Amino acid sequence: MFDPPHLLVVGSGDPLYREYALAGLAENHTITMIDRSPATWQAKYLVDHAVAPLDAVDQVAATARELSGRHHFDGVVTWGEFAVPAAARAAAELGLPGIRPEVAQACRDKGLTRGVLAAAGVPSARSVRAATPAEVRAAALEIGFPVVVKPTSSAGSRGVIRVDGPEGLARAHEFAARSTAVAADGSRPVLVEELLVGPEVSVECVSYRGETRAVALTRKSVGLPPYFEELGHLVEPQDGDLSDEPAALVAVAALRALGVDDNVSHVELKLTADGPKIVEVNARVAGDMIGYAVLLATGIDLVQAAASIARGQRPDVRARYRRSAAVRFLYPPITGHVVEQSAPDGLRAEPWLDRLIWEQPMGTLVAPPPDGDVDSRLAQVVVTAPTPEQAVLRLDQVFDQLRFRVEPVAGAAAVPGR
């Protein structure tokens, strides 16, 4: 009788964005999970579960050791940005494959990432860490306006803001600091960075025993300035081999410099007039439904690839088909409560409409930035098409038929309820 490999998954994430990953793994693995709270929707996929703060590396490692006393684990997997260091530490202590804990931390801390890339000569935004208003101002004047102020460690573009002049620095510093981790000295350092100008892309990379291959490229739509909210992603038809793609060459160089040798990684870049430059390196499977879109467009399953690597096996990254897939998100135009959301029944019958999900329960208080962020998104839509042009037209077709209303609330600050 076949005994499926047993994975320890660290962090489940939001079911609207990550249930596809957990469900896919459960088809051919036994799964035990460490998460920040007791299992709810995850329970049907699990054989065991334990609770620990995902950003507490020592607690997660101790919990993993305890769980290993009653289970034999074949690998440790995470797709949560905040859980990357803890998962790496757990794998190391259990003697299982994975990136080294210090590498995980270098990827997680965007300031450390910048330092490593600069030392290795990998093209990246100029960046200065700053903890006080005076340091933020000095960094911005040194780099030159416009600048980007961002948290040293966050996800989903939370706390990232463009600043065009000195008068906006205080507000930007406060906005970014709300989303950054507290340092050992009690401060909330941020990064002040050069503004990279050009289209934004992400490169999905698979590293196995020190050999890294770029397998997919996704084009991003970013908006709601001066913020950098990710509005959508587009995967064009591709064959899983980006060895000649300039952005892929820079992404692979960045992972090599950081020491990423056994992992699936999500590398974000801007295609500037001076060539591709790194925005950030994420040592986990892409979020925001990018990994799912890559699966639809190419047949490459990045979650299964991560599981194979975690078990010490060569991942299967062969493209099985060439088509396009696209994701788009609907943001609220104003602060208020969701009071209407609907779409025609016939729309859902379209074979190319893979997902149409209303993310917020009726009555939820939502807001655009700066009071809201990705957790205030109203809807997510995923479509497939033979070409990227058709994918965009299909997204437009869906969005033209969505009906929603947000009832305004004067002076309210949103507490997203997703």
Q: What is the pLDDT of residue 260?
A: 98
Q: Which CATH number fits domain 196-322: 3.30.565.10, 3.30.70.20, 3.30.450.20, 3.30.470.20?
A: 3.30.470.20
Q: Residue-wise pLDDT tens for the chain (418 aa)? A: 568 999 999 999 999 999 999 999 999 999 999 999 999 999 999 999 999 999 999 999 999 999 999 999 999 999 999 999 999 999 999 999 999 999 999 999 888 999 999 999 999 999 999 999 999 999 999 999 999 999 987 666 788 999 999 999 999 999 998 877 766 676 788 999 999 999 999 999 999 999 999 999 999 999 999 999 999 999 999 998 998 999 999 999 999 999 999 999 999 999 999 999 999 999 999 999 999 999 999 999 999 999 999 999 999 999 999 999 999 999 999 999 999 999 999 999 999 999 999 999 999 999 999 999 999 999 999 999 999 999 999 999 999 999 999 999 876 555 554 5
* Residues whose CB is less than 8 angstroms from the CB of residue 184 and which lie 6 or more positions away in sequence, other chains included: none
SS3 (DSSP) at 174: helix
Q: What is the pLDDT of residue 179?
A: 79
List every span in the chain annotated with CATH 3.40.50.20: 6-96
Cα atoms in the Cβ-side hemisphere of radius 13 Å centred on 50: 19
Q: Which CATH number fits domain 6-96: 3.40.50.620, 3.40.50.720, 3.30.420.40, 3.40.50.20?
A: 3.40.50.20
| Under 8 Å between Cβ of 299 and 319 | yes
- CATH for 126-194 is 3.30.1490.20
β-strand 324-330 against 353-358: which pairing, if any?
unpaired
SS3 (DSSP) at 140: helix
List every span in the chain annotated with CATH 3.30.470.20: 196-322, 324-418
* Residues whose CB is less than 8 angstroms from the CB of residue 48 and which lie 6 or more positions away in sequence, other chains included: 32, 33, 67, 70, 71
Q: What is the pLDDT of residue 158?
A: 82
Q: For the stretch 128-145, what's the b/e string if a residue is b when 16 or more beta carbons lie within 10 angstroms of its beta carbon?
A: bbbbeeebbbebbeebee
Cα separation values, 313 from 5, 99, 342, Å: 12, 14, 45
Q: What is the pLDDT of residue 157?
A: 74
β-strand 6-10 against 30-35: which pairing, if any?
parallel
- CATH for 324-418 is 3.30.470.20
SS3 (DSSP) at 121: coil
Q: What is the pLDDT of residue 183?
A: 66
Q: What is the reported pTM?
A: 0.94
